[in-house]
């Protein structure tokens, strides 16, 4: 099963700010778009209402190295960096050719949506089995 994915994309006009560059908030959307594509590539959807679970973010970061502009074609590389009993952490690199544009990280926690308030819950084994963290990351699994 895939533990990483490369997604090619083009900057849309509405993603740019008054300076003509991609607004910083879009980089978080790009990472999430790549995450959803990774789930689809593994044969699942991150939104499975019948499962009764959700994946809110508990941490997200992004470092900007170079700007992107309207019509730029770029690639988002995402990988599962770590899996614990209840969380999945992704790392992303966005690049245009050989030029690194941004790097980021997102951590999502598995929660049960069948109770109020939502509470973290172990990742179902059938989901955890679809993703593999890199060697050495198993030490993070608790």
Q: State residue 2's pLDDT score.
A: 66
What is the tens place of the pLDDT at every residue in 113-132? 888 888 999 999 999 998 88
User: Residue 135 above 70 pLDDT?
Assistant: no
Task: Report angle CA 89, 95, 96 to the nearest 5 degrees.
Answer: 160
Q: What is the mean pLDDT of residues 99-120?
A: 94
Distances (CA, A) of 117 to 27, 51, 88, 110, 112: 30, 17, 21, 14, 9
Q: What is the pLDDT of residues 84-95, one digit of tens each?
A: 999 999 999 999
Residue 98 bears catalytic tag: no
Domains and CATH numbers, the chain: 4-132 (3.10.129.10)
Whether this prediction's pTM lies above 0.85 is answered by yes
Q: State the catalytic residue, choosing from 17, 72, 98, 138.
A: 17
The pLDDT mean for the chain works out to: 91
Please answer whether residues 88 and 108 qualify as being in contact, where contact means their C-beta atoms are separated by less than 8 angstroms.
yes
């Amino acid at each position: 099963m895939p533990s990483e994915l490369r997604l090619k994309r083009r900057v849309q006009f509405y993603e740019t700010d008054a300076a003509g560059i991609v607004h910083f908030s879009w980089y978080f959307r790009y990472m999430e778009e790549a995450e959803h594509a990774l789930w689809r590539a593994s044969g699942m959807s991150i939104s499975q209402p019948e499962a009764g679970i959700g994946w809110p973010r508990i941490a997200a970061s992004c470092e900007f190295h170079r700007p992107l502009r309207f019509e730029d074609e770029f690639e988002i590389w995402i990988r599962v960096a770590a899996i614990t009993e209840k969380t999945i952490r992704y790392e992303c690199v966005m690049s245009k050719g050989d030029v690194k544009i941004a790097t980021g990280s997102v951590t999502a926690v598995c929660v049960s949506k069948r109770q109020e308030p939502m509470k973290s819950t172990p990742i179902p084994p059938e989901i955890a089995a679809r993703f593999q963290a890199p060697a050495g990351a198993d030490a993070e699994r608790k």
